[in-house]
């Protein structure tokens, strides 16, 4: 670990990712993410939102931040450390404990043939000092309490016995076991009912305010983004077209693409014809 003052929790510097199309010999390249930079400072937990339609490179960016995909150019620093220098198993586990994902579809995030509490125990063994069954259960219970559930509700249950909202909260609880400083939530509410969306986004707010977890919230839903975000970037075809303070941007978008996005948001008072 590098000593000294670490200013940024995560720093994304001129990051691009290309995917080549066709065979080995072609030079066709598809730019999924093109020269994206942003930082999240350490010490002031915030909800950082990435907005864009499908195919705008949101998920590729998230996968790069999780160190699942290497950037084609540019660097990502997490707590001052370049992600490409993480090699040893110990470093990898430490990084995974600090940056945790929450995925889009809670129904496919859990194996339907395994009990859901198993995932909580495995995370507890791996990322905490728990080494016995009772210790891991205790860890799981603490994490579940943070998301408004308790272990008896979840214990010995299969995914099909739980509702989508409960499963998504268990997925978030699983991520919290490692006590991460950054959660990367890739469209966490798009597969969940509208009535449960609010429960999940309220949970993110509590995590930020009470536990001090920074959250990268990836979505195409502008209304929940407005409701919870602090900072926002709007992406179109891999390029950041607008960035800044979330409420200012969403109330007053400047870029034509952001304006189209805002106009397309349906609300009880809007009409289809404008």
Partner 1 sequence: MIASDNLKPHDQDVLQLRNVKAYYKTKFFGIDREVRAVDSITLNIQRNQIYGLAGESSSGKTTLIKTIAGNLRPPLRLLEGNILFNFRNHSHPIDIATASSEKLYSVRWKHISYIMQGSMSVLNPVRRIHQSFIDFAFHHIKQPYPKFLKIVQQHLEDLHLDPNILKAYPHELSGGMRQRVAIALATVCKPEFIIADEPTTALDVVVQKSVLKLIKNVQQEMGSSMLFITHDLAVHANLTDRLGIMYAGRLVEEGETKKLFKNPLHPYTKHLISSLPSIGDLSKKNSLEGSPPNLADPPAGCRFHPRCPLAIEQCRISNPPLVETAPKHRVACFKVNPRKE
Q: Which residues make up the interface to partner 1 (CB under 8 A)? A: 53-54, 163-166, 193-196, 198-199, 201-202, 220-224, 226-227, 247, 250-251, 260-262, 264-273
* Least Å from the CB of residue 75 to partner 1: 30
C-beta of residue 32 within 8 angstroms of C-beta of residue 60:
yes
* Least Å from the CB of residue 17 to partner 1: 21
**Residues facing 218 on adjacent strands:** 50, 186
* Least Å from the CB of residue 254 to partner 1: 15
C-beta of 24 vs 266, nearer to partner 1: 266
C-beta of 130 vs 242, nearer to partner 1: 242
C-beta of 39 vs 190, nearer to partner 1: 190
C-beta of 196 vs 239, nearer to partner 1: 196
148 DSSP assignment: T
* Least Å from the CB of residue 51 to partner 1: 10
C-beta of 100 vs 166, nearer to partner 1: 166
147, with CB counted inside 10 A (0-12, 13-18, 19+), is buried
150 DSSP assignment: -
* Least Å from the CB of residue 188 to partner 1: 14
Name the CA dihedral angle for 255, 256, 258, 259, rounded to a multiple of 10 degrees: 120
C-beta of 17 vs 169, nearer to partner 1: 169
Strands 239-245, 73-78: parallel, antiparallel or unpaired by DSSP?
Answer: unpaired
* Least Å from the CB of residue 226 to partner 1: 5
C-beta of 44 vs 202, nearer to partner 1: 202
Q: What is the DSSP string of 202-257?
A: HHHHHIIIII--EEEEEES-HHHHHHH-SEEEEEETTEEEEEEEHHHHHHS--SHH
* Least Å from the CB of residue 103 to partner 1: 16
C-beta of 69 vs 196, nearer to partner 1: 196
Tokens for 95? 């990084």
C-beta of residue 109 within 8 angstroms of C-beta of residue 167:
yes
* Least Å from the CB of residue 169 to partner 1: 11
Strands 47-51, 73-78: parallel, antiparallel or unpaired by DSSP?
Answer: unpaired
- Rounded to whole angstroms, the Cα distance separating 248 from 242 reads 11
The backbone region for 54, taken as left when phi is positive above 0, alpha when psi lies in -120 to 50, beta otherwise, is: beta
């Amino acid at each position: 670990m590098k000593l000294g003052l670490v200013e940024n929790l995560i720093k994304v510097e001129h990051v691009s990712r290309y995917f080549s199309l066709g065979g080995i010999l072609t030079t066709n390249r598809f730019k999924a993410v093109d020269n994206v930079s942003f930082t999240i400072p350490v010490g002031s937990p915030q909800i950082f939102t990435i907005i864009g339609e499908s195919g705008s490179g949101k998920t590729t960016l998230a996968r790069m931040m999780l160190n699942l995909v290497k950037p084609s150019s540019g660097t990502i620093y997490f707590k001052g450390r370049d992600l490409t220098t993480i090699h040893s198993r110990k470093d990898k586990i430490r990084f995974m404990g600090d940056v945790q994902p929450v995925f889009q579809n809670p129904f496919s995030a859990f194996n339907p043939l395994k009990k859901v509490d198993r995932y909580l125990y495995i995370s507890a063994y791996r990322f905490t000092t728990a080494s016995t069954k009772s210790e891991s259960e205790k860890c799981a219970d603490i994490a579940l309490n943070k998301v408004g559930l308790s272990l008896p509700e979840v214990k010995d249950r299969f995914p099909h016995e739980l509702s989508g909202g409960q499963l998504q909260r268990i997925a978030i609880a699983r991520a919290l076991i490692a006590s991460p400083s950054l959660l990367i939530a890739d469209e966490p509410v798009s597969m969940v009912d509208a009535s449960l969306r609010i429960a999940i986004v309220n949970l993110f707010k509590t995590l930020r305010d009470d536990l001090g977890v920074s959250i990268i919230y990836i979505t195409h839903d502008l209304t929940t983004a407005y409701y919870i975000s602090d900072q926002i970037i709007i992406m179109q075809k891999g390029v950041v077209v607008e960035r800044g303070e979330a409420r200012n941007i969403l109330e007053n978008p400047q870029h034509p693409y952001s304006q189209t996005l805002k106009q397309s948001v349906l609300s009880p008072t809007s009409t289809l014809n404008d």
